[in-house]
Amino acid sequence: KTAYEILTCDWSSGRVLFRSQRSARWFGRHLPVFASEHPTYAKHPEIAEIAELEKALADAFDGPDAEPLGIEALAAMPPESWPKLVFTPHPTAIRLTFKTNAADIWSALKTETAPPEPKHLADPQAIVVWRQDFMSRFRPLPPEEAMMWDEAAKSVRFRVLCEMVATFAGEDDAELRAASYLEGWIETGMLAGCGRTGFPVPPDDYGIGMRLQAQKEKDRREKKEREEQSEEHTSELQSHVRISYA
């Protein structure tokens, strides 16, 4: 077994940990933290990163629905508005940064092939996780594209994004490189909307409504889980008391 497989077995065998989670879906949500803090597994940072990727894929699958931005919507924008365009990531998009080759190890485990030896990367690896066509996906991003994605997610205008790309890796074909990244995001459903700065745009066009709805749903689930855990612990305490006085 791989170290990650051993970790999941150890995690699953923890009676108290398992007892606190009635839903298998949420059972592993604390696994990345557990792996990073446990004295045995903390020595192998790729394990926590694999768990983090697994959790992100599950969160993306359960994330809020949103119609992906289509190329036709972008084509409908007048050319003079392009410099002021801002883009909204799909509400299921999750940005990760790995220091190891955890993504390659995860992919090998997923296809049941021999995983590569764990190693620390010379440079951190940027990864985006999102849901497309009812399936969670992830994709490593090269440094320049990762920079542009991070800035686009902050609603930086397209003209400024092109300038940042030019500064990052040279002015030659900078606009073409930026447009190529944008095209790839649209083709794979990583974006949920676009609009022009300085113009009123309905909040849902920027994914704000969907994000608020998702946060409210998350808060509701966590509150319910805390109440269930409290009830279960109270029941166990009462059971102990009855046994003690039997």
Alpha carbon separation from 223 to 39, 44, 60, 155 (Å, rounded): 30, 33, 21, 32
Instruction: Report whether pLDDT(173) > 70.
Output: yes
Identify residue 221 by its one-letter amino acid code: R
For residue 81, what are its two tokens?
């508005």
Q: Regarding predicted confidence, which is higher, 51 or 201?
A: 51
What is residue 234's DSSP assignment?
H
pTM of the predicted model, to two decimals? 0.71
pLDDT tens-place string over residues 211-245: 444 555 666 666 676 666 666 555 554 554 444 44
With vertex at residue 130, the alpha carbon angle to CA 165 and CA 78, rounded to the nearest 5 degrees, is 50
Alpha carbon separation from 40 to 7, 82, 95, 120 (Å, rounded): 9, 52, 27, 18
pLDDT tens-place string over residues 101-110: 999 999 999 9
What is the Cα–Cα distance from 59 to 25, expressed in whole angstroms? 10
223 contact partners, CB below 8 Å, separation of at least 6: none
For residue 191, what are its two tokens?
């974006």
pLDDT at 53: 96
